[in-house]
Structure 1
Amino acid sequence: MQPGLVNRAIYVGGFGTSTTYKHMLNTQIEGNVIGLKISEISGIKSVSTDETKSTLTKLQTLVEAKKIDVEEDEHNYITTGINSFSTLKDAKINKNFFYSNSDNVDKHGVGQDHAIYLRGSQNIDFVGNHVRGFHNGPPGGIKFKSGRNILIMNNYFRNTGIIMYGNSEYGLADTYTPVAELSNWLVANNTMDWKKWQDFYAIGMELNSATRTANTRNGVFIDNRYINYQNIPSNRRQKMKLAFADGVGFLPKDSYLAGNTRDDTVDGILQADNWPADYDYSKKSNFNEWSSILHPDMGTEYNEYIHTKIPMRDDLKVK
């Protein structure tokens, strides 16, 4: 590891230059352990999918047999888990375990830059992942700079969430042309578990204001849960930030919210900034109401993914 923001685990992407423009297609990143503490392998296995458990079991066997020499708690110094600067298309990032060093006493100067950080990506599935040890401020969570057909389902986010930027990026056009676009987003059945205040903000879903683009549309945000939100100071708790007062963002004209909850209010309804005061926040989402908003393939994928295990039981040392 090195101090700073250079400790990236996986890079994926095609070519986004004026001389060579080519997408990286049909990428599958599944069952990986990206950062861990050896002393917590048993606990990590308890929150992992079968795909990740097999990787952990192999590692545990090697450690116990002393076939590899490792220090117990020195393997979660991860800046970025998965990074793409451009042209990633048709990727499945499913059932992985991401563990960075935000909660470590000694960070060794290693900073963070998101569990996944994708620019100009399209047709991305992020399902059944466990994300922990990333900051609940600007460096944390999973971050997209422009994205089309983005599906985020059945994930566990410990003390962090989802960040959406509207920068112009390469990868959404058929030619070498930068495009600013956030369209066809399905964010469903995720758990944001707020463990502690980290002096920035605690926003589970944030559309960035400084980079907002009018080309933001067709978003479905359903059945997501903020739990343990009372651990955040009451004056710092937030609604979902999906739209702005100037009419830019995911708004009722082409987007849908339902079934999102928080456990720190009497009604338990997780609302969104700048949505109409009289918007009917249904307590349960209705497939027939939202599926026509998105590309038809996303409704099909929703039905395929909805029973994916959410890897959320939290019995590791860091609570």
Structure 2
Amino acid sequence: VNGIMALGGTILGTTNRGHFVAKTGAGDRTIVPAKIIADARTILEDLRVRALIVVGGDGSLVTAQQLQEAGINCIGVPKTIDNDLEATATTFGFDSAVNVVVDALDRLHTTATSHRRVIVVEVMGRHAGWIALQSGIAGGADIILIPEIPFDNDKIASVINSREAAGYLGTVVVAAEGARLKHGEQVKRDVEGGEFRLGGIGEIVAREIAIRTRKETRCCVLGHLQRGGAPTTLDRILATRFGVKAVQLANEGHFGSMVSYQNYQVRHVPIAEAVNRLKLVPPNGELVQTARDVDISFGD
């Protein structure tokens, strides 16, 4: 593993393909078929693997929990850019993703102002708006749209028109992919295999802004740029601390546990506690109020 600290991605390989994946979100939980669990147990026994250290987000950890319940030793490590896992203050990958978005916002502010445009930046965040919220604050967004606070297109248009009347030349909107209209559903698109993914909200918001304000409006979907590249210093340190703790837990026999970051300390909690529900942005929380206090609108 020498020399991997600056590398993005994974040297182990990864997949989220296949029907055995325990898809989660918004309270959903898919049961891993018994045959898959039985096959996994056989393979691990043949390889003399004493425990699995499962690194991932809600889907991976729900799978780990079911393997643990079936008697397969598992330790969980929270890794997701969405930062939506309960029982941990943060996950590694999140800070790197936020930094990518902030860098993009710094650049897009320039073109928005120069050409007097509205630019809608769609970022990841299926059910939780942490990336949009934190990058929006750090990147000086004018409007932030997150799943936890349904928005109204007329309100967005009013904010943009008011900004123009006050002499501001451009407007930057950050929209989480799972953002939704008041009394509306999240925007979904079909993908191979009959499943769906969230996405497309940026184009819809941009179109509605253009119709209502008659301003030139562009949409920029950052997509998988947020998931690649070299990790930030914070993520490198956090991942190292998580890795050390995971090995300690395995050596001490604390199976069924997930590494957790709480009060600036790396601890451990039951995996079940982490996957019991998603960690969402509190609509009336301190971070949202901070954004409102610096005149960022949530379109509500």
TM-score, normalised via structure 2 length = 0.28
TM-score, normalised via structure 1 length = 0.27
Bigger relative contact order (CA 8 A; separation at least 6) = 2
- Structure number with the higher strand fraction is 1
- Structure number with the higher helix fraction is 2
